[in-house]
Amino acid sequence: MSVSATSSTPSAYEMLREQYASRLPRSLEELAGPTAGTVDLPLHVVWSGRRSYGLSQPRSRMSLYRTVLAEGQQQDLIAFLDRSLLIAQWPILRTLISRPLRDAWENRFPELPTDKAATAA
């Protein structure tokens, strides 16, 4: 009689969440990115399409944060994201990113607001 072993292979969701979690800063206080002006992302973060984002324009700022969260490495998160702007935009931003990415950030940083009724700054 043979007994099949339960697979302990992580799911694609778990692997992605861990990949994102490994890039996170130790705390949101490390996020010291700009709060005004224009941000030009390097090619290793955005290799095609738009690379320049105006922080005074809410849609442009949201697009910048979405791109950096999804594609940036830890040093990019620290250099291009600002703690206050991230927290202010999080209620909407969290709906624009993948579930594994959102869960990695929210599991590590409980100070991120998850109230979907809130509006972004």
Tens of pLDDT along 61-101? Answer: 999 999 999 999 999 999 999 999 999 999 999 999 999 99
Over residues 26-36, mean pLDDT: 97
Q: Over 80: is that where the pLDDT of 4 sits?
A: no
**Mean pLDDT of all residues belonging to the chain:** 90
Over residues 44-49, mean pLDDT: 90
Residue 85's CB is within 10 A of a number of other CB atoms, namely 21
Q: Over 90: is that where the pLDDT of 118 sits?
A: no
pTM for this one?
A: 0.84
- Nearest Cα to Cα of residue 76 among 89, 64, 90: 64
